[in-house]
């Protein structure tokens, strides 16, 4: 029996787990920043919050650029 396939699978799961945790933490950071922004309307806040759940890193850059 070769242990290589099991190790490869374990490494893949570890990378996916780290990416998922990073995604959640970054989405939470953007969600909190948008929620605290008093210059946005409720509709704008909800729009940014939904975007934060999908691609937080991409939309964080767009949000920062929009805020100037």
In order, the DSSP letters of the chain are --SHHHHHHHHHHHHHHHHHHHHHHHHHHHHHHHHH-TTS-HHHHHHHHHHHHH-HHHHHHHHHHHH-
Whether residue 29 is predicted with pLDDT greater than 60 in this model: the reply is yes
Whether residue 2 is predicted with pLDDT greater than 90 in this model: the reply is no
User: What does pTM read for this prediction?
Assistant: 0.75
| Percent of the chain's residues with pLDDT above 90 | 81
> What pLDDT, on the 0 to 100 scale, is given for residue 4?
72
Whether residue 41 is predicted with pLDDT greater than 70 in this model: the reply is yes
> What pLDDT, on the 0 to 100 scale, is given for residue 35?
93
């Amino acid at each position: 029996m070769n242990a290589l396939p099991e190790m490869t699978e374990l490494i893949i799961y570890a990378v996916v787990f780290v990416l998922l945790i990073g995604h959640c933490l970054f989405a939470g950071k953007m969600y909190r920043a948008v929620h605290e922004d008093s210059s946005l309307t409720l509709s704008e806040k909800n729009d940014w919050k939904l975007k934060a759940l999908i691609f937080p890193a991409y939309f964080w850059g767009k949000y920062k650029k929009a805020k100037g």
